[in-house]
Structure 1
Amino acid sequence: MIEALPLFHRIAGQPVIVLGSGAAADAKRRLVERAGGEAIDELQGGIDRGARLAFIAHDDLASAEADALRARCAGLLVNVTDRPALCDFTVPSILDRTPVLVAIGTGGASAGLAKQLRLRLEGLLPQRLGALARALESARAALRARFPVADDRRRALDAALAPGGTLDPLVDGSADRVEGWLAGAGGAAAQVIEIVLRSADPDDLSLREARWLGTADVIRHEAAVPAAVLDRSRADAVRQLIAGDAPLPDPGDAPAATVIVLRAPR
């Protein structure tokens, strides 16, 4: 089970309360302004203007608790710097490839860990990853025309964006290939993949197995397959419970591009 629900909140042109002084408060103001919001440094004034978020960066605990209570009672979501127990939300470390944003959070456990993970990912994700996202956005109408059925569109994109695919997002220059790919894109053939788990630990999945789970349309699984493993699949993938001796379906009868059959550890 995840401990917090990750969300991206649009605040461009909106008032956001930021209380406090010093480096922590200044950092929150810069963050708000970077996202296009207007930082308001007075609690009641921000409430009156319809603010929905409040960042509180007081050094004094009593002041932080009092302002957090006032803001929360007014219906705002509250973040209190360095005090996770007082927070309705936490601020992740952000890797910016606009419009692609990668947010890394630890639930307030360690901002330093989140930062170091972001720095590692910085070297993996090309600078022009955002350009690929924009190109795909511009190609939406053409993609719908080429693949009118939503499942067909998803399968075509999955194949193109997969490792080694025409639009592999980790290969710089993929944005320049979108138009050509769409002109020659073909449908993805159905496939059935069986995974017999080695243990109940999802970290024991191979990288290839994890990628299959992350892109499969249908997950057929035995009752003993752990929820932690099933959670590695797409949130919108169809899940079907099967008996332990259920045979593999014929690929010709597969209702989707990729059907995963998950077997519990033997």
Structure 2
Amino acid sequence: MEFLPLFFDLKNSNVLIVGGGEVAKRKASLLVKSGAVVHLISPEIKADLVELIVSNKGVITKDVFSEEFVKNKRLIIAATNDQAINKHIADLANQLNTPVNVVDQPELCSFIFPAIVDRSPIIAAVSSGGSSPVLARLLRAKIETVLPSTYGRLAQLAEKYRDKVKLAFSDVNKRRGFWEKILSGPVSEMVFAGKEKEAEQLLKETLDSKESPKRELGEVYLVGAGPGDPDLLTFKALRLMQQADVVLYDRLVSQPIIDLCRRDADFVNVGKARANHLVPQDDINQLLVDYAKKGHRVLRLKGGDPFIFGRGGEEIEKLAENGVPFQVVPGITAAAGCSSYAGIPLTHRDYAQSVRFVTGHLKDDTSDLPWSELAYLNQTIVFYMGLMGLPVICKKLIENGMPKETPIALVQQGTTPNQKVIIATLDTMVETLKTQEVSAPTLIIVGEVVSLHDKLKWFSPIKDLNIA
């Protein structure tokens, strides 16, 4: 082990930074967060660095370095672009037995800055000992994905009851067991869900009874899985996916995303296709209630966003009626994901002042839409679930005044390796599809912004088809 990881308490401590550039600013930002009083010296100092130091009660000296500045400092950081000065600072610090860090010269350092994941008061730090700072940052990014920001609030709650738990459990092993059950059970889940008052009440009750907190009623996580690319999942979605006991998923959820769920969970396919509902919606709603009432943590995984043509509202209505707790995690809706991956900015200001999301068929399978409003110029229209109704869509838009030369795009399986984009016009798209194989899920985008596809496309695993 090249360096022993330690955590310094620097509150109200004087620390020295020599240097006035961007690197010095990064170090100063960390130090002021820790409550240190930063003394910074350099002939030239960035204006925003001066602001940072002064606003946090630090001291600025615009001058060349001299030995007097190293005295009475808890830490010293050399961040100049002159290696000779940096070495001189390190030598002086070592003579005074003061910890010193020399930026990009680990051989001169008595301590180094790790890559930090800040969930105060929980802090995780990763270091390569100076051998590969980039690798340390990449590892930090991985840790970021599994440490929700709410861990800090969970730690604060634990700190609040630490002394009371000590009094209640004199035996160290029993005390440790109590905290393990609290921090990995319903109390922690309530904190993560933002129900901190309920979490504290349950902790109190559990402490009074000296028993493990019980989950008499489960919870449902309504999670948007996005349009297909697993990298588009939110941190919160991933965390809930990995702790659910039961997973109900739609056919629009890609297999790579399903594979990220907890491996030993029970998986239930409730996928729906047009005119072929594997499990009717009312039955899905009831399944969520039934599983939760058995005490399960239930993941309802839906393609895109649950509240944009995803029937998420119907599902949580049923949960609310039955007193079942739930959380909703937004996902990237297909319109945003597919248009971005197709290089079609929905609201480019030179082409569109508004965008409308429209379902291709309503609950009773009709397409009774306000066509005159949709045919409005300088507007982008995105049709969900409109592939079967495409001939009607094109015909009605032209009949209501939209120029037949208006570009239209079909994006099949957007954001995935199987993405396919077909570009034509309102007048030619139906004929074009007679020679193309297209299947759901497919998103339809209508408007002048579609003309930017050729110029802005950046993701094209399958050759796009452009047909005038």
TM-score (norm 2): 0.36
Q: Secondary structure at the match of 2:192?
A: coil
- 2:169 and 2:175 in contact (8 A); partners too: yes
Following TM superposition, by how much is the alpha carbon of 1:96 offset from its aligned partner in structure 2, in angstroms?
1.1
Q: List, as ranges, runs of 4+ consecutive aligned residues in structure 1 with deviation greater than 6 Å.
A: none
Matched, 1:99 2:121: yes
Q: Secondary structure at the match of 2:23?
A: helix
Q: Distance in 1 between matches of 2:182 and 2:119?
A: 20
Following TM superposition, by how much is the alpha carbon of 1:134 offset from its aligned partner in structure 2, in angstroms?
0.6
Q: What aligned pairs does 1:58-69 form with structure 2 within 5 A after superposition?
A: 58-69=80-91
The equivalent residue for 1:166 is 186
Following TM superposition, by how much is the alpha carbon of 1:178 offset from its aligned partner in structure 2, in angstroms?
4.3
- 2:190 and 2:199 in contact (8 A); partners too: no
- 1:16 and 1:46 in contact (8 A); partners too: no
Instruction: Return closer, same or farther for 1:22/1:134 CA change in 2, 3 Å cut-off.
Output: same
Matched, 1:142 2:161: no
Q: Distance in 2 between matches of 1:18 and 1:170?
A: 43
1:30-72 deviation per Cα after TM superposition (whole angstroms, max 9, x unaligned): 2211211122135645433x21211101222211111110111
The equivalent residue for 1:90 is 112
Q: Distance in 2 between matches of 1:179 and 1:9?
A: 34
Instruction: Return closer, same or farther for 1:160/1:61 CA change in 2, 3 Å cut-off.
Output: same
Following TM superposition, by how much is the alpha carbon of 1:169 offset from its aligned partner in structure 2, in angstroms?
7.5
Q: Distance in 2 between matches of 1:169 and 1:93?
A: 27
Matched, 1:76 2:102: no
Instruction: Return closer, same or farther for 1:44/1:32 CA change in 2, 3 Å cut-off.
Output: farther
The residue type equivalent to 1:116 in the other structure is: L
**Aligned pair partner of 2:75 in 45, 53, 61:** 53
Q: Distance in 2 between matches of 1:105 and 1:166?
A: 33
- 1:52 and 1:75 in contact (8 A); partners too: no
The equivalent residue for 2:10 is 11
Following TM superposition, by how much is the alpha carbon of 1:132 offset from its aligned partner in structure 2, in angstroms?
0.6
The residue type equivalent to 2:142 in the other structure is: R
TM-score (norm 1): 0.62
1:77-130 deviation per Cα after TM superposition (whole angstroms, max 9, x unaligned): 110000011111110111111111111111112221222222222222122111
- 2:19 and 2:80 in contact (8 A); partners too: yes
The equivalent residue for 1:111 is 133
- 1:125 and 1:170 in contact (8 A); partners too: no
Matched, 1:121 2:143: yes
Q: What aligned pairs does 1:93-242 form with structure 2 within 5 A after superposition?
A: 93-162=115-184, 165-168=185-188, 172-173=192-193, 176-184=198-206, 186=210
Which one is further off, 3-12 or 167-176?
Answer: 167-176
Instruction: Return closer, same or farther for 1:46/1:147 CA change in 2, 3 Å cut-off.
Output: farther
The equivalent residue for 1:41 is 40
Following TM superposition, by how much is the alpha carbon of 1:145 offset from its aligned partner in structure 2, in angstroms?
2.7
- 1:161 and 1:167 in contact (8 A); partners too: yes
Question: Which structure 2 residue ranges, 5 or more long, are not aligned?
Answer: 42-65, 213-468
Q: Secondary structure at the match of 1:41?
A: strand
Q: Distance in 2 between matches of 1:138 and 1:46?
A: 41
- 1:15 and 1:46 in contact (8 A); partners too: no
Q: Distance in 2 between matches of 1:44 and 1:170?
A: 54
The equivalent residue for 1:20 is 19
Instruction: Return closer, same or farther for 1:170/1:91 CA change in 2, 3 Å cut-off.
Output: farther
Q: Distance in 2 between matches of 1:18 and 1:24?
A: 10
Following TM superposition, by how much is the alpha carbon of 1:155 offset from its aligned partner in structure 2, in angstroms?
1.8
Q: Distance in 2 between matches of 1:69 and 1:169?
A: 51
The residue type equivalent to 2:108 in the other structure is: L
Instruction: Return closer, same or farther for 1:65/1:98 CA change in 2, 3 Å cut-off.
Output: same
Q: Secondary structure at the match of 1:29?
A: helix
Q: Percent identity?
A: 29
Instruction: Return closer, same or farther for 1:51/1:181 CA change in 2, 3 Å cut-off.
Output: same
- 2:126 and 2:136 in contact (8 A); partners too: yes
Q: Distance in 1 between matches of 2:190 and 2:83?
A: 45
The residue type equivalent to 2:93 in the other structure is: A
- 1:79 and 1:90 in contact (8 A); partners too: yes
Which one is further off, 101-110 or 167-176?
Answer: 167-176
State the number of aligned residues.
184
The residue type equivalent to 1:106 in the other structure is: S
Larger radius of gyration between Structure 1 and Structure 2: 2
Question: Which structure 1 residue ranges, 5 or more long, are not aligned?
Answer: 189-266
Instruction: Return closer, same or farther for 1:155/1:108 CA change in 2, 3 Å cut-off.
Output: same
Aligned-residue CA RMSD in angstroms? 2.4
The residue type equivalent to 1:166 in the other structure is: P
Work out which structure has the larger RCO, using CA pairs closer than 8 Å and 6 or more positions apart in sequence. Answer: 1
